[in-house]
């Protein structure tokens, strides 16, 4: 729920009244406030003077309005958050006089997976393909690679071959291929010198 400033002010007034009522109850329980004191205040209010009755009626009416206003404020729904634009699920391959051709990002992702798994140095692969704009995609890879793999050469060659593979067979532009190696190869053991 979302309170406006007036609702917050009314809530403070109600909380102060509840605190005063709680203090009154504690005072009665601990005998700080006697029944004589309560009777004296009640007799002033109920002594038959029209002014006192109007004041008490006005206070009651104001408290009733405050309570209803707070109930209404609590029932108000939050303002709707702006909905994010849906992520594209396909990208444009070509446009001709007969119409347009699209390819789904899942199809491109399966091509990326096949290409990566065909490389004998790749032991595990997770991929993510995102459409940037019509006819342009970005590829993200998480790879586990075999031991004895020289990572700078391997990643550069894989980026180039994957970019060429997707662009050749899909007719789209690959803006970038980002690679994260999650399981690095173990270094080669050096022979012992005796």
Average pLDDT of the residues in 9-24: 81
**pLDDT greater than 80 at residue 77:** no
Say whether 103 sits in a helix, a strand or coil: strand
Q: 90 pLDDT exceeds 60?
A: yes
Query: Which region among 35-39, 52-56, 95-99 has the lowest average model confidence (pLDDT)?
Result: 52-56
Say whether 69 sits in a helix, a strand or coil.
helix
Q: How many CB atoms lie within 10 A of CB 102?
A: 18
Are 177 and 139 in contact by the 8 Å Cβ rule? The answer is yes
Residue 1 has pLDDT above 60, yes or no: no
pLDDT of 185 above 70: no
Residue-level pLDDT at 79? 62
* Higher pLDDT among residues 93 and 174, named by residue: 174
* DSSP string of 139-165, one letter each residue: EEEEEEE-TT--HHHHHHHHHHHHHHH
Q: Token pair of 128, please? A: 């993510």
Q: What is the pLDDT of residues 105-161, one digit of tens each?
A: 999 999 999 999 999 999 889 999 998 877 889 999 999 998 888 889 999 999 999
- Hey, where are the domains in the chain? 5-75, 90-183
8 Å CB contact between 10 and 66: yes
What pLDDT, on the 0 to 100 scale, is given for residue 156?
95
pLDDT at 194: 58
What pLDDT, on a 0 to 100 scale, did the predictor assign at position 55?
79
CA distances from 185 to 43, 48, 90, 112, 188 (A): 91, 96, 35, 22, 9
d(CA 96, CA 166): 21
Give the model's pLDDT for residue 147: 83
The CATH superfamily of 90-183 is Cation efflux protein, cytoplasmic domain (3.30.70.1350)
Q: Answer for the pair 91, 172: CB distance below 8 angstroms, yes or no.
A: yes
Predicted local confidence at residue 166, as pLDDT: 92
Angstrom distance (rounded) from CA 14 to CA 134:
58
Q: What confidence category does residue 163 fall into, taking pLDDT thresholds of 50, 70 and 90?
A: very high
Neighbouring residues of 111: CB distance < 8 A, sequence distance ≥ 6: 165, 166, 169, 170
When the pLDDT of each residue in the chain is averaged and rounded to a whole number, the result is: 83
Check residue 176 and give its pLDDT. 93
Closest CA to 125 of 177, 57, 55, 193: 177
Query: For residue 87, what are the contacts with CB-CB under 8 A and spacing of at least 6?
Result: 130, 131
What's the rounded Cα separation, in Å, for the pair 62 and 78?
A: 27
């Amino acid at each position: 729920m979302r309170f406006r400033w007036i609702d917050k002010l009314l809530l403070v007034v109600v909380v102060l009244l509840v605190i005063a009522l709680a203090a009154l109850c504690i005072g009665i329980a601990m005998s700080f406030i006697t029944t004589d004191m309560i009777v004296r205040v009640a007799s002033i209010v109920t002594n038959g003077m029209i002014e006192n009755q109007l004041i008490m009626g006005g206070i009651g009416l104001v408290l009733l309005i405050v309570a209803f206003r707070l109930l209404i404020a609590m029932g108000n729904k939050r303002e709707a958050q702006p909905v994010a634009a849906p992520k594209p699920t396909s990208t444009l391959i070509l446009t001709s006089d007969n119409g347009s051709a699209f390819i789904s990002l899942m199809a491109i992702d399966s091509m990326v997976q096949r290409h990566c798994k065909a490389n004998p140095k790749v032991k595990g692969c997770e991929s993510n393909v995102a459409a940037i704009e019509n006819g342009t995609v970005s590829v993200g890879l998480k790879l586990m690679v075999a031991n004895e793999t020289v990572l700078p050469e391997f990643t550069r060659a894989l980026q180039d071959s994957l970019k060429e593979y997707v662009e050749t067979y899909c007719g789209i532009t690959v803006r970038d291929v980002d690679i994260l190696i999650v399981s690095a190869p173990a270094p080669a053991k050096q022979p012992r010198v005796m």
